[in-house]
Amino acid sequence: MGDTTMGTDFEGWGARAGRLAARWGRTAWAGLLLASAAVAQGEVADRWGPNEPASTFGSRFDSLFWLITTLVSVSFLIVLVMLFLAVVRFRARPGSKAHYDRGNSLHDKRFTAVVSVTVFVVLDAWVLVIAMRDLREAHWKYPAADEPGVYEVEVLAQQWAWNFRTKGVDGEFGTADDIVTINELHIPEGRPIKFNLTSKDVIHSFFVPDMRVKRDLNPGAINMLWFQAAKTGTFDLFCAELCGYAHYMMGGEVYVLESDRFDAWEQEASRLAEIAYDAEDTEAHWAWDWKD
């Protein structure tokens, strides 16, 4: 009899030990998965936000973005706290009777006015003042046509490609040595890049996220844009305006080269353009007089 009881106890302990081992095994696997996820998260953390700005005025837009994000987040937290306090204070309790308030008292009106003015001044007016200052001092501060070092680019967008034209070594648009490229733009580092942009068919939008620039291209009109690259590299170009069924394919690359490398590239590209020039190819002669 005693032996039977002892065997039963061992069987019970064995079953419990098995369940415990299985539980700890699952916990270990879960910990391993969490650790792997943390490692993967660390590896891709740099992709969770925008790249560092590659233009001279790009940091202004980043600062404004984070200011707006901070102000809105703080406002959201304040609203959450007020809702929580209201829920706790006016919850259903024995002996507590609900009272309907239309909010017509002088106190309620004053409170609403103070909150409205505060939100307008802190969130709207403050951000507007900073945004307009940055636009005037940077984004809208176009370099003068006679400013030394200005590099001019004509952009013709179409479904679904970017056509770029620069003057070539002769310094004039519409000549045989114009450098014409599709979906590839080569520009020098450290020089103001000034754009004339238009569209051949529908509205497109010239968007280079790393440069913090975006501008619409409208058929029948020439819009302007400028930036100055602060570092070399290859940067993505997108169309940010839905322009048809193949809109997703309308991408390109902006290559920012060091001054010496760019000068060598420009000389060679201009020479090859002059060799390949075809006077009868009227489709390629889309240059226009520069607009300031």
CA proximity to 157, closest of 100, 121, 204, 207: 204
Token pair 């299985």 is at which residue? 22
- CB 159 within 8 Å of CB 244: yes
**pLDDT on residue 250:** 94
**pLDDT on residue 4:** 47
Structure tokens at 145: 């046509």
Residue ranges covered by each domain of the chain: 151-284
Query: How many C-beta atoms surround the C-beta of residue 153 within 10 A?
Result: 19
Token pair 């998965």 is at which residue? 33
Query: Average pLDDT by consecutive 10-residue portion of the chain (292 residues)?
Result: 47 52 52 55 58 90 90 90 88 80 81 87 87 88 84 94 92 90 94 94 94 94 94 94 93 94 93 88 86 82
**pLDDT on residue 45:** 45
Structure tokens at 22: 């299985």
**pLDDT on residue 8:** 47
Does CATH number 2.60.40.10 belong to domain 151-284?
Answer: no
